[in-house]
Structure 1
């Protein structure tokens, strides 16, 4: 009797769970349909009902799917007057617990879009860089294309040079793109160049797109390419080529209109035939469903009874064996982890000692050179003056007052040289706190004078670089910032520092008066030649993009081992 009651309880519980699951899915599908029909309030209400039922059933995958759908709906419809972020937060939490790289990448991209729409560009960039970290795995590398593309558009308005940098990064990933994606990226880059009035460069990108054969949408892309080429040729005054591409544009447009009309007629006919078949199938399904339901109920009762007994026994046996195995594995892992930690600590200790010794040796050598080259000659001269004073005290051949003044000037000069050496040492001390901290302190100190505002944007500098490399980079940034203050007449500047894929990227931009690099005298005191030499020694690249009246951008890439 007790077994029969237990059996009936199990059956009723299973039936109730299945019923809730069907209801949750029903509301979810209904919400999708409402959303498709632009009935967004109804869609939102049905998503919420579906989410509540999935929460009661504790089906994590379905809960996450609902949260993402609700986020997308609210984000795209301002009239709902809801905050979408909590739903995205829940989806992100699920992705972290699941440890699924694809889900995490999707969540990070949605965060970036959310902050982009909220005009929080700095936060949006941060999430796009986090998403880039995930694309290092081979199965996600294709998503780099869209992320670099978004980063390009993110900088189009305020930082066009940085936008161009990311457009080029995107087009550098040709192997990861389909032909359609490649053509789309060429067109996007050409539009950016056209807006910058760089018509010849825009034409070059469109020409690359023109020769690519596509699997689908060839006419649609041809129409766009020909139209843009015609406009660009018109802007540069080549009316013959402009007319040629306007003719091609009209031919592609007419062909596209005819094709779309035929497709629309075919779709209507297909829809009619599908609806007719669906009605016939629906009647047949209803009859079959009733028969199948009765058969399933009988079989379900039998299977539940057998499965409950078999699984109960198996679960007990497997759980007992599994607990023993886990205990042994835990003990082994604990021992291995202990050994790893000891080895790691020793390696870290040796690395730290070597770095300290190397850094101290370099610093001693630099100070010794400064003392020998700068202070040594002054002290030697000072010694001669004192000897002259001693000899002249008795013979009075030279004006005593003049000798005293010269000697005093030499003492002042020696004091200033010692003071400069001490200040140079202090710069190293600041850099020893970390490159990022040093740059931020420098920017804060300069900005506090209210003559220029310097913003520092960073990504990926979660760990220290080699000490001498940090000091060299800090001095380069310090010298370039000094150039902006002394020569650019700028009111705003930004220092972007990012470490990604073992590459340190530094972008320094200002809104100053700009300069012509070709007309610049490299020995005029700005230190550009010296900076180029140091970066070449580090096996890095140094690019300057400056336009008179529109400020300057300096892009530095340095490989980090």
Structure 2
């Protein structure tokens, strides 16, 4: 009996690897650590390294080739060979990749293995999406994928390919879109959100951004969707798979800013894209360089425009030579692959017939032993369940009482913590900027103690006035009065008054440029923006060693834009720790609370630019 049971366990773990589908789901949730040395585990490791490094692992590939024994194994090998060709060159070798994917698809249908059918159709749909000449086949494979999808990820991905097909086919054939296309987008995005498939949801937002741009010419809507996709993909930006996604989003945003005549912002987005793209021969990089050249031309920086135009032309010549070499190599490899596949198929068929005879007899013996063991185990389980049910009822009542106590305590602690944070932010934002200004006045008093370059009496009066103002603000915080100067005079006036006070110290000149701020803004948002600008000025005084600051405020198309620029010493913006401290990290949290964006562009010895965009 024990020997039979051991045979059952070995047989089930090796032949019917039921956890393989679960491991596939784990792969696409990007939990990329896999153990084991069997063929399925090696397949998962190979796919994980493609996601992490975008490079095929040749050692794993060779190891898999030596382990292929069954028809199912050959499906995994065909998928890997297709992926190997797809990513091993700078240009996609479509014919060889598709041959392998289609072979895997046909064999998966014969095996009736829905997991491998989905793996094959995922790649075939990706192939059709990136090749306009295959649009006629896209619809069929898209329908197949939807019908076979057997997990939330596969269902979400199949919906994405289906919507992509609808967009492509309608545009190419009718040069128009269905009336319900936005409803389809909303429905599919809701599916992804409800099932926590956030990365596929990000792909939908990127596609929706393209749709708003190309078909509806709604650039702000397009930017909103690109920014949602960018925020999601950025959580996994260490993986090369997501770097490719982010590269495409940055280029898409650059085109939007170019259309909006915001050429500097367009170049900033292209700069982000070029930082993360590692391929030297890439057509999208060539087009990005052409866009940089166009942006500089619009900015009348003709030397820079000519430089990037030459770089794009040189890259284009290199791409042309590589394409010709790959075309010749494709033909040779395809012939060799087809020949080898035919030989392997004949050998596998012979092995398959021998194995069928061996396993058929063993299977009947194993199944009989398994049924007897399961019946015995089931009767014991029922007795244990009855006893456990009584114990669970007792624990359930105790747990309910404890949860009620914890909920009450948590509510009290949360209220206290919220009040402490509010007071800390008031002290940091409101009092900090005034104290920084006071410091400038005292430095002037110290420097001009003997050399009277300024009116000493006037400077003493201003300093005394600032001390009084600091006292009043501390007193106001103690009485929980937040509105201050903003409630009485409005955001723009308050900022100008603050700028005048700081500029009067004659060490830092602040210029305010405004547009469209004649419309009222919600009071809490005004207070937040005022305090953010206070914090930025304080940081500049403390750290930047700047002499000039320009603050641009504009309210346009229900979007408040703030650009803060100084001519200080700059810093390395890649080393900012946004999680700790109350400076830039606090600013970022407040902007995110209003669903806004926060960007920093700083160059050592060339100053700092900070851009805030907040929907009103």
- Is the shorter-chain TM-score for this pair beyond 0.5, marking a shared fold? no
Considering Cα pairs closer than 8 Å and 6+ residues apart, tell me whether 1 or 2 has the greater RCO.
Answer: 2
TM-score by length of 1: 0.45
Which structure is larger by alpha-carbon Rg, 1 or 2?
A: 1
TM-score by length of 2: 0.41
